[in-house]
Each structure stands twice: as C-alpha cells, then as structure tokens.
Structure 1
Amino acid sequence: MKINDKVIAITGGARGLGYAMAQRLGNQGASVALLDRSAEALDEAVSSLAAQGITAHAFPLDVADESSVVETFAEIAQRLGPVAGCISNAGITDDALLIKAEDDVVTKRMSFEAWKRVIDVNLTGVFLCGREAATHMVEARHGGVIVNVSSISRAGNMGQSNYAAAKAGVHALTVTWGKELARYGIRTGTVAPGFIETPMTAAMRPDMVEKVAAGIPLKRLGEADNIAQSVAFIFDNDYFTGRIIECDGGLRL
C-alpha cells in the first residue's frame, strides 16, 4: 500500500516503538494519528515530529475501554478521514511468577488484577482497535492494513504468564483477521520485537542489559527504528498478510 497522505493510527504512539513508527511512516508521507493515554506525552510527540516536518495529530485514548476506542476512531475519521492503517502497539507489563513456594507452601501468586490488567491492554485493546479500524476501512471502501505488535515472549517466558498469553493471542488475531478480511482488501501482519533499546530497557541495570545482549546472536539490543522498518515493510508489500516478522537479532526464548 502506498501510504502517502494515508491516515495511519498508532496506539502507544507517543513514545518508544510507536514514536519510531510515526517517524518512519510520517517521513514516507503518511498522516499519522498518535493514540496514547497521556495527553502531555502526545503533545510533546506531535511537537517533536512537527519539528521534523512530519504531520501528526494527537488523540488521547484508553485502548482497553470500548467506548473510548469507538469515539476516538470516529474523531479520527471526522478530523483526518477514515484510517487506512492501524498499528496496535500499546502494551504494558506486570510480571510475576504464576506461583512461588517455599517448603511446599505457596507464598506468592500472580494476582488476578495483574493478569486482567495486562490482558485488557495487550489483547483486548488490540481486538477493539482492530475491529474499529476494519469497520472504518470497509465502510470507506478503501481497504487497508492492520499491524499488531507482539513480542518474542509470545513463545512463553518465565514470570510473564499474562504478557506471554496476550502476545501469543495478538498473533492469533492477525492470522484470523488475515483470513477474514482479505475479501475487503484489508491485509494484516504481526511484528514481534526482541530486546529493543527503549525507555523500558533504559531503566534496566547496565549489567542486566549486558547479560541480555550477550545472549543475542547479533550481540546487541535492537533499535526502535528496526521495528519501524518491519512495520513499514508490511505496509509496502501487497502480498503479505496474516504472517509474522520476528525482529529479534536471532534470539529465541
């Protein structure tokens, strides 16, 4: 899909990977709709992108709230036109072991609240945004592209029952939607990042970062733009749908 002047919505677009996607797609001529919970972060991102000559617009959004998603996509259509692309990138972590025991006594468990919070944002949010984007694309009769951001953790990772389950589910949605939506001219794709240099990894202890990097075949963390490049490829390749790009430096958990 040629994205020049096309409206592309990016959840979690105010920082990190979402911001890098906005930079790359905006530089290719897309009209970028940044969706995020923080209005302040959105304003900063829009100003920063504008300074680079990129057209971006701010839309505060709670991806886990159905009415918020419906209203926001309607506002995007009203202000910019119906979306031609939607990237579900917003995500959170709330890590814990399923259970922790000492002397056959369970002392800690992953809380239901932690499970639900991560599933609500990382999986239900993808469903809500994908459904709304597909609705607008079909009714506008112009097709489009839906990209879902998963993770290397989708294969399962200790301490991340909630996150791993959500990220595995994200790609299942991509495959399902690829089969269901092709008839409407809508393609889908998943990008699964490995360890990437973001504000989240910047908060890690330097020795932990070194340990992680040592286990990656390419011996370094990826850059946010590496993920943005993967997303751009899905938009550009008109024969790509329902599949996943693993961008992780060769690492497998």
Structure 2
Amino acid sequence: MKLQDSVIAITGGGQGLGRAMAEYLAAKGARLALIDLIPEKLEEAATACKKAGGDAKTYVCNVAKEEDVEKTFAAIAGDFGQLNGLINNAGILRDGLLLKEKDGEITKRMELSQWQAVIDVNLTGVFLCGREAATQMIKNDSKGVIINIASISRAGNMGQSNYSAAKAGVSALVPVWAKELARYGIRCMGIAPGFIGTEMTESMRPEVLEKLVSVIPLKRMGTPEEIASAAAFIFENDYLSGRIIEVDGAMRI
C-alpha cells in the first residue's frame, strides 16, 4: 500500500506512540484520522501532522463504547471518502498484583474495576475499532490494513494480569482477522513493543529507569519513531499479514 494520500485512523492518536506514528506517517504523505478522548491533545497532534506534510482530522471518541466507535468510523469515511488503514493503539494501565498477603492475611487484591477498565479499552476497544474499520473498508471497496499494537507483556508480566490478558487477546485477533478479511483485500498485522521511551518512562526515577534498561539486551529503550517505522513497513509491504512483529531490543518477558 502506498502511504501517499492513504487515509489512516489511529486510536490514542493525540499523544505518546499514537502521535509519533501519526507524525511519521504524515511525513510520508498519509492523511490521518486521529482518535482520542482529549480534544486539546488531538488538536496539537493534528497541527504537528500538518506541519509534517500530511492532512489530519480529529475525532473525540471512547473506543470502549460501541455507539461512539460506530459514529466515529462512519464520520471518518464520510469526511475522507475512504479508509485505508487503522492502527489500534489506544490503551490504558491499571497495574497491580493479583493479590498481596502479609502474615497469612490477604491485604489487597486486584479490583474488578481495575480488570474491567483495561479489558474494556485495550481489548474490547480493539475489537470494536477493528470491526468498524473493516466495515468501512468493505463498504467503500478500499483494500486496507489493520495494525494492532500489542506488547511483549502479552507473554505475561508480573503485576499486569489485566494488561497481559488484554494484549494476549489483541495478539490473538491478528491471525483471526488476517484469515477472515483476506478475501476483501484487508491485511492484519501486530506490533509488540518492548520498553519504549515516552512521557511515562521519562517521569520515572533515574534508578528505576536504569534497572529497567539493564535487562534489555541492546541496553537502551526503544524510541517512538522506531515503532512508527515498523508500522510504515507493514503498510508498505503488501505480503505481510497475520503476524506479530516484536520491536523490543531482544527483550523477552
């Protein structure tokens, strides 16, 4: 798929990895549909995309709500006249151990609300956005690409029952959709980032960050631009489908 003039929707596109991917693709001439919950962040990202060389429109949407997602993707198709790609990037963290014990007593457990919030956004949101993107691609006879942003935590990471389960589910959807949607000319791929330098990691204490980096074989964190370049590679290679690309500096959990 040529990125020039392609219409690509990115959830969580107002900040972090989503914004980095949007700017990278805009520089290659893509037109971006940026989806997020914070209008101010969306506008900043759209301005950055236009400055990078691409067009961009913004859509405030809660990806965990079916009605919001349906309306948003219908609006994207109406505004741009087509939809060629989706990056399912939106996600949240509500980390915590399954339970804590002290002196034989259970002192804390992961709350159902912690579990459900992450599953709703990180897994159900991916399902809803993937379904609606595929619907619009088929309706408009547009061959397309869906990229699910997974994580190396999909293999299981301590303190992340909810996040690991969601990312494992996101990863499992990749081959399912690749097989189901191939007949319509729609490919599906996944990217599983390792530890990436973002606003969140920049706020960590130096000693914590140093310990984190020490377990990465390449001895550094990845950059958002390295995830963005992986996404561009997927879009541009028409024989890639049904696989997860791990971008993690040889890190394995």
Show CA shifts across 1:90-141 (max 9, x none): 0000001001111221110000000000000000000000000000111111
Could you tell me how far 1:250 is from its partner in structure 2? Answer: 0.6
1:187 aligns with 2:187: yes
Using structure 1 for the length normalisation, give the TM-score: 0.98
Which residues of 2 match residues 236-247 of structure 1 at below 5 A? 236-247=236-247
For residue 92 of structure 1, what is the aligned residue in structure 2? Answer: 92
Q: Which amino acid aligns with 1:222?
A: G
Q: Is it true that 1:155 corresponds to 2:150 in the alignment? A: no
Q: Which amino acid letter does the alignment assign opposite residue 3 of structure 1? A: L
Helix, strand or coil for the counterpart of 2:147?
strand
CA offsets, 1:190-216, max 9 Å, x none?
000000011111121111111111111
Over 3 Å off, 4+ runs: none
The letter for the 2-side match of 1:122 is N
Shift of 1:43: 0.8
Deviation at 1:188, TM superposition (A): 0.4
C-alpha distance in structure 2 between counterparts of 1:57 and 1:205, whole Å: 36
Partner of 2:83: 83
Please tell me the residue identity of whatever aligns with 1:27: A
Moved more, 98-107 or 35-44: 98-107
- Secondary structure of the structure 1 residue equivalent to 2:201: helix
Partner of 1:15: 15
**How far apart in 1 are the matches of 2:162 and 2:202?**
23
Aligned 8 A contact 2:27 2:49 in 1 = no
Q: Which residue of 2 aligns with 1:28?
A: 28
TM-superposed CA distance for 1:232, in Å, is 0.8
Matched with 1:104 is 104
Which amino acid is 2:2 matched to?
K
Deviations 1:71-100 (A, max 9, x none): 001111111122110000000000010011
SS at match of 2:190: strand
Aligned residues: 253
Q: Which amino acid aligns with 1:118?
A: V
Contact 2:28 2:53 in 1 (8 A): no
Inter-partner Cα distance in structure 2 for 1:60 and 1:7: 17
1:117 maps to: 117
Where does structure 2 lack aligned partners over 5 or more consecutive residues? none
> Identity over aligned residues, as a percent?
57
Unpaired runs of 5+ residues, structure 1, are none
8 A contact 2:82–2:142 mirrored in 1: no
What's the RMSD between the two structures over aligned residues? 0.9
Normalising by structure 2, report the TM-score. 0.98
CA deviation after TM superposition for structure 1 residue 54, in Å: 2.6
Amino acid at match of 1:142: S
**Mapping for residues 179-218 of structure 1, pairs under 5 Å:** 179-218=179-218
